[in-house]
Amino acid sequence: MPDELIYLDNHSTTRCDPRVADAMLPFLLDSYGNPHSSTHAAGHAAAAAIDEALRQIAEHLGGAKEEWIITSGATESTNLALLGHCLHPRNRKRHIVTAVTEHPAVLDPIEMLRREGFRVTVLGVDANGQIDEGQFADTLTDDTGIVSLMLANNEIGSLHPLKPLIEIAHQRDIPVHTDATQAVGRVAIDVADLKVDLLSCSAHKFYGPKGVGLLYCRRQGRLTRIQPRLFGGGQQRRVRPGTMNPAAIAGMATALHLCTEGLSAENQRIATLRQRLWEGLVQRIPGLEINGPALDSQSRVAGNLNVMFPGVEGEALMLASPQLAVSSGSACNSLDAVASHVLLGIGRSEPQARSSLRIGIGRFNTVDEIDRAITMLADAYEQMRRFG
Ligand SMILES: Cc1ncc(COP(=O)(O)O)c(C=O)c1O
């Protein structure tokens, strides 16, 4: 990372915590056995490390360790959950319910299912990104096979109270998948308490390595059948075959442990940095507006700030502040240069969406960085307004 860069794009990815990297190294350099080699001690050691990591994961996120499937990241998890469930030969229901502000990792596999003949209801949201409970209940039918709703939004940071919606779905025996990619490590999660059936996440969003993630798949009570999407060895009960990566899995478990340890104190610290950033910006930029829930509400993740700069394109502001890493939407959308579907979904117009920036404050950010970010953004904004 260039020395002078201020990294405030922690919804896109986070820096791997050095303690996580330390936990991974032994499995790259010394204990490098294939965890599926049952004929020697090197294999046994790697298998034991994975078992211990799964135990820790279940301890932090709930459920039994056998209910956690290791994947390459949230995109694979959401695809396995949605395609694997809907295309299972014993799941005959053909209606899917989701929401307009979901990530492409959910919307795109659902779109693929729609092309295969599934019927899809995409729920709208209010200005805070929330779904109306009554409207949700009304969309469920006897043919609804799955509901997929995220726990935290990746652009506006809205936290979604899914528990009552899950209860409503369960009353009709409909399983619920949640994309918890932006929630894991940022808020406390217990899959048993939430009663969710399927949950997806990625380690690199919570200071772990890239290329590894989790799919929780409930095995008790309601049966969540998943048809594999990959075929090969017999690993992970054949639901997700392929040689597992002990270093990445140990790193992910360590990352989760570090997040859980000091969660409320860390969230407090990050929320204070966000408040400082907001106050600093709004003092210098008249008409600056927040997209999504109020900063002092409990329904927004601590590090998220999404702001609309009146009369200026977000892309242009970023070009004018090259020492600042922020974004104008999800990292996936930034490949397409389209206005954020999340901001349009909460009722912003296209020009308003294009004038917005997403800022994600994280573990390694400091007060000094926040103060420099205020100066950079406000100077760039003033200059652009002055010289058009
Ligand atoms: C809400 C959400 N879901 C899914 C993903 C996909 O995660 P990954 O790219 O790690 O597969 C992301 C990443 O930006 C995300 O923010």
Distance CA 66, CA 48 (A): 14
Residue 73 phi, psi (nearest 5): 150, 180
pLDDT digits (tens, 9 = 90+) for 215-266: 999 987 666 889 999 999 899 989 999 999 999 999 999 999 999 998 999 9
101 lines ligand 1 (CB under 6 A): no
- d(C-alpha 239, C-alpha 140), whole Å: 28
How far is C-alpha 191 from the geometric centre of its chain's CA atoms? 15
- CB 346, CB 128: distance < 8 Å: yes
* CB 202 near ligand 1, within 6 Å: yes
Quick check: CB of 75 below 6 Å from ligand 1?
Answer: yes
Q: How many angstroms separate the alpha carbon of residue 331 from the centre of ligand 1?
A: 9
Q: What is d(CA 114, CA 103) in angstroms, rounded to the nearest whole number?
A: 16
Q: What tokens were used for 159?
A: 């936290």
The number of the ligand 1 atom at minimal distance from the alpha carbon of 332 is 14
Structural domains of the chain ordered from first start: 6-15+262-387 (3.90.1150.10), 68-242 (3.40.640.10)
User: Is the Cβ atom of 331 under 6 angstroms away from ligand 1?
Assistant: yes
pLDDT of residue 379: 97
Q: Taking the CA of residue 297 as centre, how many other CA atoms within 13 Å lie in the half-sphere pointing to its CB?
A: 14
Atom of ligand 1 lying closest to residue 78 CA:
4
pLDDT at 1 (0 to 100): 77
CA-proximal residue: ligand 1, atom 16 (nearest): 154
Pair type for strands 144-148 and 176-179: parallel
Burial class (CB in 10 A: 0-12, 13-18, 19+), 373: buried
User: CA 90, CA 86: separation in Å to the nearest integer?
Assistant: 9
- Diameter over CA atoms, the chain: 72
Q: Is 74 in the pocket of ligand 1 (CB under 6 A)?
A: yes
Query: Tell me, what's the pLDDT at 109?
Result: 98
Q: Is 103 in the pocket of ligand 1 (CB under 6 A)?
A: yes
Taking the CA of residue 74 as reference, the ligand 1 atom at the shortest distance is 11
Q: Which residues of the chain have pLDDT under 50?
A: 335
Which tokens sit at 12?
A: 């896109």
Ligand 1 centroid to Cα of residue 156, in Å, is: 14
CA of 255 to the centre of ligand 1 (A): 17
CA 212 – CA 252 distance, rounded (Å): 7
Give the residue among 59, 54, 47, 88 at the shortest CA–CA distance from 70.
Answer: 54
User: Measured between alpha carbons, how far is 310 from 55 in angstroms, rounded to an integer?
Assistant: 49
The runs of H, that is alpha helices, within the chain are 18-29, 41-61, 74-86, 104-115, 133-139, 163-171, 191-194, 246-261, 263-284, 314-320, 341-345, 350-354, 367-387
Q: What is the pLDDT of residues 13-55, one digit of tens each?
A: 999 999 999 999 999 999 999 999 999 999 999 999 999 999 9
Q: Are 291 and 308 spatial neighbours (Cβ–Cβ below 8 Å)? A: yes
Contact call for residues 147 and 160 (beta carbons, < 8 A): no
**What is the Å distance from ligand 1's center to 283 Cα?**
33
pLDDT of residue 95: 98
Contact of 153 with 129, CB cutoff 8 Å: yes
Is there an atom of ligand 1 within 6 Å of 327 CB? no
Could you list the active site residues? 332
CA–CA distance, 381 with 358 (Å, rounded to integer): 15
